[in-house]
Amino acid sequence: MKKFLLTVALMAALLWAKEDSTSVEFAHASIAVEGGALYLLDDARQNLDDTYYGLWELNYSFFRTWVGVVQMGYAYLSTTGDVNFSGIHQVNGRIGLDYPLPFVKPISLGAGFSCIWMRADDVTDENSKSSLIDNESEFGFYARLNLPILNWDKWRLGAKVYFERIWTAPETSETAWFGFYLQRNLW
C-alpha cells in the first residue's frame, strides 16, 4: 500500500508541476565591433610581424547564464626575412560560449572553436608553389577573458584578452589577442 500511495503522490506532483516557460535562449542579443593587437607567440615571429586586427561579434543568451558568441575578423600580417611575398591576409571566424564569473561580475570567461583563412598578398613565379597562394585554412580553439569597463543604457565598452591555438602542420601556432570593443544590445 505504501508503494501505491507513493506512486500516486509522485504522479500528482508531476501533474501539478509546471514547465518553466521563462526560456532564456535568444532572450537577448548584442552586436559589437572590436579592434586591437595580435601577437604571435611561436616560430612564426621569425617571418611575420605582430599586427592589428578588427572584428565584429554577435552575442546572444544561450542557456541559463551562458552567452553564445559568433565572431568574424580580419588582420593583415606583414612579412619579414626570407619570405617571397609582402604580406598575408588573414580572415578569422570563431564560435563559442562565454560564462559570466559569479564571484567577479560582470567579467566572463569563454572558449570555443576557431577557423583561420589565409592568403598571400602577391603572387610571383618564385612563390607560386606556396600553399598561401591558393588559400589555406586552419582550425583550432581559443580561450578569452571579457572585461567590461563601462556600461550605459544599451551600450558597453570593454576589453578582451584571447589565447588562440591553431592546429597547423607540423606544429601548432599560438597567438595572443588584446583588444577593446564597443557593444550595443539589440534586444
Nearest by Cα to 86 from 121, 46, 47, 38: 121
CA distance 145 to 98: 9
Domain boundaries, the chain: 21-185
- Work out the pLDDT band at 21, boundaries 50, 70, 90: very low
Q: Are strands 108-120 and 173-185 parallel, antiparallel or unpaired?
A: unpaired
pLDDT in tens, 128-148: 555 566 677 889 999 999 999
Could you write out the three-class secondary structure of 58-82?
Answer: EEEEEECCEEEEEEEEEEEEEECCC
pLDDT in tens, 73-124: 999 998 887 777 788 899 999 999 999 998 887 899 999 999 999 888 876 6
User: In one letter, which amino acid is 130?
Assistant: S
CATH architecture, domain defined by 21-185: Beta Barrel (2.40)
CA distance 82 to 138: 23
pTM for the full model? 0.79
Read off the C-alpha cell for 19.
514547465
The more confident residue out of 156 and 17 is: 156
